[in-house]
Amino acid sequence: MAQQAVSTPALQHEGGAQGGRFEPGAPRRRDHRHTYGAIDLGTNNCRLLIARPNDSGFTVIDAFSRIVRLGEGLSRSNALSQDAMDRAVDALSICADKLRRRNVSLSRSVATEACRRADNGREFVDRVHDVTGIVLDIIEPAEEARLAVLGCHKLLEPGDGPALIFDIGGGSTELVLIDQVEGTPRIRAWWSAPWGVVSLTESEGKEALEGADRLKAYKRMRERARRAFANFATMLPETRDGIRLLGTSGTVTTLASVHLELPSYDRRAVDGLHVPIEAMQQISAMIAGMDYNERSALPCIGAERADLVVAGCAILEAIIEIWPAQNLGIADRGIREGILRSLMARDGWPL
């Protein structure tokens, strides 16, 4: 079931805030010696960032990302499979080693939809702690949305109109409507829909997505996503002047790479890019019509993403339908950066 809230206390910074704004609590004295870490274990990916703060933000000193497909098969069994848990623990063991070697003094590790939904999610968290020493915090959708906004909102196009920030994950999609007061985001409403690239792909099945009628399967996925967003759409403002749209996920960074015709993925070219909506719709339609081998042949999709990217395109098109901005902002940043900014703000560093 989708979940939503409007400017609730759960969306605030850990230090507390008023009216849905991100505000740190009483700042402590800044310490340049601290090294901070953030782990985001999603339904599809395991990601780590290690950074040190500075007056303009932070400097990344180490990073790690691996596709682990923790939520593979979850929609059928309601449990994390042994193979999926093994893959995730292997990746988290690498993260733990990096945290130790970089002498990280303060970190936070979060798990999202797969662990929220799985009957054995808590058992998996206990196993991770026993094997790696990492304490995973299974966060609620409200906190997931808050961290994603905090991590990427600075990439919004300039303007005074309302903005929609979204995160297409593996097991869920978070939509956050914000406005900005002196550059600080204020959450007006949010929504978490139970469709991500893994869960939506599994809802159709490989045979339907790769068969002769794959465009019909694509339309069914797009309709599922559209229905999941229907209630949130009623909460959006009727006036659409100056609206802005920003996405943070593997889907949007992959499609932006295809748009740029990159021979290999380049974060510097993609992060902060603004792509005309028409171009993203054309790319989505092109990918939806391809078979697995054709998608795999595209340099920035490859075999690892070829089976999931179609579902991502379907979700993206449903979002564009309810929020028809002129451009789509692309963010190769999100929850990890939001965690880092939250931790650093508690030590007196600017958000």
User: Which amino acid is located at 85 in the chain?
Assistant: M
Q: What are the CA-CA distances from residue 92 to residues 98, 165, 278, 289, 340 (Å)?
A: 10, 28, 39, 36, 18
The predicted structure's pLDDT at residue 12 = 29
108-133: buried (b, 16+ CB within 10 Å) or exposed (e) per residue?
Answer: bbbbbbbbbbbebbeebbebbeeebe
What is this structure's pTM? 0.88
Q: What percentage of the chain carries pLDDT values higher than 70?
A: 91
| pLDDT tens figures, 147-206 | 999 999 999 998 888 999 999 999 999 999 999 877 778 899 999 999 999 999 999 988
- Direct distance between the N- and C-terminal alpha carbons of the chain, in angstroms, rounded to an integer: 32
The predicted structure's pLDDT at residue 16 = 26
The whole-angstrom separation of Cα 247 and Cα 265 is 17
User: In degrees, to the nearest 5, what angle opens at C-alpha 110 toward C-alphas 267 and 113?
Assistant: 90
| pLDDT tens figures, 77-104 | 999 999 999 999 999 999 999 999 999 9
Residue pair 222/322 in contact (Cβ under 8 Å)? The answer is: no
Give the number of C-alpha atoms closer than 13 A to the C-alpha of residue 121, restricted to the C-beta side: 20
Residue pair 186/268 in contact (Cβ under 8 Å)? The answer is: no
Q: Residue 340: exposed, middle, or buried by beta-carbon count in 10 A (0-12, 13-18, 19+)?
A: buried
Residue whose structure tokens are 């093994």: 86
Instruction: Go through the domains of the chain in sequence order and give each one's CATH number.
Output: 31-139 (3.30.420.40), 143-331 (3.30.420.150)
Sheet with 136-138, side-by-side order of all strands: 57-67, 45-54, 36-41, 106-111, 136-138
